[in-house]
Amino acid sequence: MATITEQIINDLTELPAEMQEETLDFVQVKVKQNRETKPKANGQAIVEILERMAARNSLSHIKDPVAWQREIRKGRPLPGREEG
């Protein structure tokens, strides 16, 4: 019994070149969609985002990270430290 891959290859070779190209386009779109929707390994998505940010120097305008963090937290209590 042939595997699915073998069946696809066998059937594909019987198609005219034009239809083979259409099939290739379809397969490439499906492969891309699969890669984009595949869940990332634990933390891998965050690592990729941080690497892209670092490559762009996205936060280079922040001269003093501690002061920046205090400023963005102003007026909002920290989780677990609400005044009561």
Q: Which one, of 40, 37, 17, lies nearest residue 29 by Cα?
A: 37
Domain ranges of the chain: 44-73
Q: Does pLDDT of 26 surpass 80?
A: yes
pLDDT of residue 79: 74
pLDDT of residue 13: 92
pLDDT of residue 66: 92
pLDDT of residue 82: 65
pLDDT of residue 81: 72
Q: Are 62 and 68 in contact (CB under 8 A)?
A: yes
Task: Express each pLDDT in 34-82 by its tens digit.
Answer: 888 777 677 887 888 889 989 998 888 889 999 988 888 787 776 777 6
